[in-house]
Chains A and B, each alone.
Chain A
């Protein structure tokens, strides 16, 4: 176990090293001088050289990269190029809670919707319940999230016009507060965000449950006269959930990239929109910080699902 964890940690550090290098070198090699960009009209050589020095851009690349790594380890991503009075960290911390909230709810909901639905379909396999639900799940899973988001926004707009409920079309309330207007704003994006993952999990849960229901011990449980409810919930369900644990890490990656589009369509001021604006304004420190943060989230998610997997299923030993 410890050996396995150590091995994974080494791999994790390697991945993070690569990602920091990629983000650094892209910023370094990118055409266009960011200082020129900042100064715009007010270009003067002295200030230019001062700023270059301030941002450490006059050093050779390996030194810049080393400084970059050291700063990251101190959670110091420097100042934004675009909004020079703000540190990158302060920009991120104002937007992170929104994305975090969106992600946590979506992650929770997609398991809460997906697992029961998949189990239900497995129990009712090949009936109309199964076919209808799995057909819908396949559609929802295949259609990209932002298209789904547009359809949902359209539906909301139509209902709103018909009933005059005054439902806000876009935006986000206060993070982690749940008054009625907050809930109104948050409900649709969270649901749309959760649906894609829920469909995937439902399909997986169904397959896994069907596999378990075919096992000998289920037949034994039935043969000794246990009630069907106990067979399913106590004997089958627990074993069927094991493979689903691995999807946890996958879900995180899915959520991170999905957030860009959901935030875009619903105009949510989160980490995704920060990344996109900073990319289009070439605000390298912000880009680097968000990309590294998102990657850390994904890598930790993967690690977490490995650990969970080992805890749940002790047969799996580290090779």
Chain B
């Protein structure tokens, strides 16, 4: 947050960008940062990234969304271990001591504690099999975010590589990419994911179940789900990247680089890829929202996470009939969490797009 230190006149610059001239890369390198702080009156230009940062911080909705996402990520990762150490042990009917590490475990079923409301022992109550709702929600969050992260890694890797190659060289890579995206647009990703998980699901339950951590507790199918979403999302990313690459390629500095004898590899890695970062960040943030919805949807249809695992979609599906009962929160809670996390990523993505490209705002 280096911007905040030296922004006495940043705030009175008023209406965002329009008042500050966009600095050219040449100009920006001549500005001495230390100098700026001493002479606040002097007209100075910000680097493009500083301008973006400033624009981002002025977008309240995006900043709040980012805060929400950070909070949810923290809850998903450090929440469960902390929660499993909070609470007093109690003695059950068999005369055994049961500590919080047991009854705050998301996989624990205890029919003595069905459908309990919010209490000191179960912070958000329990569901119909006596599992702690908060523990399950945190586990579901972790699942959502892990799937999104895994999909995004593949999405960015494939999308950027193939998009850049298609945009830079054109030719057959471009043709193949165009055909693949044609098919993708006609064949919804979700349908593909439903097919793939449905057909390979039972086999993955059998063979991937033994994998440590990711395969246990009915989570094995998530590997298939992630693969399906990764396969369907990279062509879209590649298409964006290709378009952007074509634009960048037309710039004079690329020509200049070629004139001084830079190799294609160097031009791509030094001049094109760094300029793609903004579009990749925006596209992947928006794609994360889609992936989270997709994973929840697949699990909702009973094709993703299996019992006793937790997923927001699975929790909704399991208790969809709790709506007409006296304890509707069992289904409303996962819905609300899902809505919040999806909205946060969508708003963040929108905010980032406006940040990097203010003209895209209608």
Question: Which residues of A are interface residues toward B (Cβ below 8 A)?
Answer: 11, 14-15, 18-19, 22-23, 26-27, 30-32, 139, 142-144, 146-147, 150-151, 153-154, 157, 169, 206-207, 210, 253, 256-257, 260-261, 264-265, 275-276, 279-280, 282, 287, 291, 294-295, 298-299, 302
Q: Contacts A31-B203, A150-B331, A265-B320; is A279 near B195 (CB within 8 Å)?
A: yes
How many chain B residues touch A (Cβ–Cβ < 8 Å)?
A: 44
**Interface readout for B277-312 with A: 1 if CB under 8 Å, 0 if not?**
000000000000100010011001111000000000
Q: Is the CB of A154 within 8 A of B323?
A: yes
Is the C-beta of B338 less than 8 angstroms from some C-beta in chain A?
yes
CA distance A291 to B191 in the complex (A): 8
Give the residues in chain A near B303, CB-CB below 8 Å.
276, 279-280
Give the residues in chain B near A169, CB-CB below 8 Å.
323-324
Q: Give chain B nearest CB distance to A81 CB in angstroms.
A: 13
Q: Is the CB of B182 within 8 A of A264?
A: no
Pick the residue among B199, B300, B324 that contacts A146 (CB under 8 A). B300
Give the residues in chain B near A142, CB-CB below 8 Å.
289, 342-343, 346-347
Contacts A30-B199, A147-B316, A295-B191 aside, 13 further interface pairs with beta carbons under 8 A come to: A14-B179, A18-B183, A22-B192, A142-B343, A142-B346, A146-B316, A206-B362, A207-B362, A260-B194, A261-B300, A264-B317, A279-B194, A282-B199
Q: Is the CB of B183 within 8 A of A15?
A: yes
Q: How many A-B residue pairs have CB under 8 A?
A: 125
Which secondary structure dominates chain B's binding surface?
helix
CA distance A264 to B324 in the complex (A): 17
Q: Is the CB of A256 within 8 A of B297?
A: no
Q: Contacts A23-B195, A142-B346, A275-B194; is A154 near B188 (CB within 8 Å)?
A: no
Q: Is the CB of A256 within 8 A of B188?
A: yes
Give the residues in chain A near B302, CB-CB below 8 Å.
276, 280
With both beta carbons as reference points, the residue of chain A lying nearest to B195 in the complex is identified as A26
Q: Is the CB of A26 within 8 A of B196?
A: yes
Can you identify 9 A-B contacts, CB atoms within 8 angstroms? A19-B186, A31-B200, A153-B320, A153-B323, A253-B185, A275-B194, A280-B198, A280-B302, A291-B195
CA distance A260 to B296 in the complex (A): 13
Give the residues in chain A near B301, CB-CB below 8 Å.
260-261, 264, 276
Give the residues in chain A near B179, CB-CB below 8 Å.
14
Q: Give chain B nearest CB distance to A119 CB in angstroms.
A: 15
Is the C-beta of B187 less than 8 angstroms from some C-beta in chain A?
yes
CA distance A143 to B343 in the complex (A): 7
Q: Is the CB of B297 within 8 A of A146?
A: yes
CA distance A31 to B207 in the complex (A): 11
Q: Is the CB of B182 within 8 A of A15?
A: yes
Q: Is the CB of B198 within 8 A of A287?
A: yes
Give the residues in chain A near B323, CB-CB below 8 Å.
150, 153-154, 157, 169
Is the C-beta of B335 less than 8 angstroms from some C-beta in chain A?
yes
Give the residues in chain A near B197, CB-CB below 8 Å.
279
Q: Give chain A nearest CB distance to B239 CB in angstroms.
A: 16
Give the residues in chain B near A147, CB-CB below 8 Å.
316, 335, 338-339
CA distance A257 to B190 in the complex (A): 7
Give the residues in chain A near B300, CB-CB below 8 Å.
146, 261, 264
CA distance A63 to B264 in the complex (A): 45
